[in-house]
Amino acid sequence: MKKHNFNAGPSVLPRIAIENGAKAVLDFEGSGLSILEISHRTKDFERVNDEANSLLRELLNIPDNYKIIFLGGGASTQFYEVPYNLLEKKAGYINTGVWAKKAIKEAKLFGEVEVIASSEDKNFSYIPKGFTIPKDLDYLHITTNNTIFGTEYHTDIDSPVPLVADMSSDILSRKVDVSKYALIYGGAQKNMGPAGVTFVIIREDILGKVSRPLPSMVDYRNHIANNSMFNTPPVFPIFMMKETLKWLKSIGGVEAIHKINEEKAQMLYEEIDRNELFVGTAAKEDRSIMNICFVLKPEYEELAGDFLEFTKSKGMVGVKGHRLVGGFRASCYNALPRESVEALIDCMREYEKIHAK
Ligand SMILES: *Cc1c(COP(=O)(O)O)cnc(C)c1O
């Protein structure tokens, strides 16, 4: 039986992408070779790489003065590659959770880091607002969607200094004004493909300004100059990413998926707010449409393990919350069908009927 996959990442992918990936593993475009055993320096793979690149550019409406590169190492590698390439004196960071904190820790190795705002005082349950961004920063770093705590910026913020964003878990879920950012990065494995490939979207003029020497692999300019083929790129993840992007385009692109994402999130949040047993953990105005976090009300808390088993018995996986928030997290990425959200809602209602006091 096909499962309802609420995993936080790696996570659900479009079925068609998986089927095309399976075919390419057996025989890549009739070449008699598997995609797993071809050279990346072939016309055939260059086409895959170029198509992934141009699909992403088209779907996100990325202006011409931005370059797109695909790397290994995950978003976590970008936590140090960003300051390595951009931090000369001082950078600002908004601390909205675990991933932001990890980015802050790495940046401190390269220069002064000022935490401009933080939501740590309330266990990262909201997005800080009304902060002033100093003009003397090399850049300001934000995490647009906080995968663990289920909070999200719903608009692109204005920044007087270059804005850098970790968009690992909400890339392509909503329209983004790329021109407001200097650099956007993320691991593909939440919304854009399988684990193993990382995307970096860079406005080229921000590079080349730091005085420190950069190792070749760290210097974004080398990857840009070589069209992501400075060394062996993650060939199969890039193929899968291309298939995932193709799927997104085929269903109408970012605008269409955003509408669906909003519907899915609204349905589930409405149930959380209505249901006698559950309560949401994130501030309402900052609720993520990707990672939906909720817990049992205190008087029902002892049912946590049992409810999780109940969801499993209904064919659901990945509903367990992160240990830092507890309770439950339903990750509702682009490829998660509406039926899966409906199934979870049915499950919550049925459970309420059995257990509400
Ligand atoms: C998952 C995630 C990361 C970590 O990604 P890796 O590819 O595992 O390094 C970083 N930031 C955010 C917002 C994430 O959701």
CA of residue 245 to ligand 1 center, whole Å: 19
- Cβ atoms of 164 and 75 within 8 Å: the answer is no
Q: Which sequence positions are flagged as catalytic?
A: 99, 166, 190
286: CA distance to ligand 1 center in Å? Answer: 19
Atom of ligand 1 nearest to the CA of 75: 9
Instruction: Tell me the longest C-alpha to C-alpha distance in the chain.
Output: 65
Q: Which of 99, 191, 241 to mutate to test the pocket of ligand 1 (most atoms within 8 A of CB)?
A: 99
- The rounded Å distance from CA 180 to ligand 1 centre is 22
User: 233 C-alpha to center of ligand 1: Å?
Assistant: 19
* Residue in 76, 81, 124 to alter for ligand 1 test, most ligand atoms within 8 A of Cβ: 76
Of 82, 147, 173, the one to substitute when testing ligand 1's pocket (max ligand atoms within 8 A of C-beta) is 147
Spatial contact of 79 and 61, defined as CB atoms under 8 Å apart: no
Reading the block at residue 101, the tokens are: 């904190």
pLDDT score, position 356:
94
List pocket residues of ligand 1, CB cut-off 6 Å.
9, 74-76, 99, 143, 147, 166, 168-169, 187, 190
Give pLDDT, residue 262.
98
Q: What is the pLDDT of residue 1?
A: 66
Side chain identity at residue 133, one-letter code: I
φ/ψ of residue 230, rounded to 5: -60, -40
Task: Report the separation in Å between the CA atom of 244 and the middle of ligand 1, taken as the mean of its atom positions.
Answer: 19
Question: Which residue's CA lies nearest to atom 7 of ligand 1?
Answer: 74
Q: Atom 2, ligand 1: which residue's CA is nearest?
A: 168
What's the token pair of residue 275? Answer: 């249901």
- Residue 167 CA, closest ligand 1 atom number: 13
Q: Assign 16 to helix, strand or coil.
A: helix
The burial class, CB within 10 Å (0-12 / 13-18 / 19+), for 315 is: middle
Specify the DSSP element, H or E, that contains 74.
helix 74-86
Phi–psi pair at 186, nearest 5 degrees = 175, 160
How far, in Å, from the CA of 343 to the mean position of ligand 1?
27
β-sheet bridge partners, residue 90: 112
Atom of ligand 1 nearest to the CA of 74: 7
Angstrom distance (rounded) from CA 135 to CA 113 = 14
Q: What is the mean pLDDT of each run of 10 residues along the chain (357 residues)?
A: 93 98 97 96 96 98 98 98 98 98 98 98 97 98 98 97 98 98 98 98 98 98 97 98 98 98 98 98 98 98 96 97 94 98 98 96
CA-nearest residue, atom 13 of ligand 1:
168
Closest approach atom of ligand 1 to CA 148 = 15
Residues 71 and 200 sit within 8 Å (Cβ to Cβ): yes
Q: For residues 39 and 227, give the distance between their C-alpha atoms in angstroms, rounded to a whole number.
A: 15
Q: Which of 146, 169, 333 to mutate to test the pocket of ligand 1 (most atoms within 8 A of CB)?
A: 169
Nearest CA to ligand 1 atom 5: 75
Residue 2, pLDDT score: 85
pTM here is 0.98
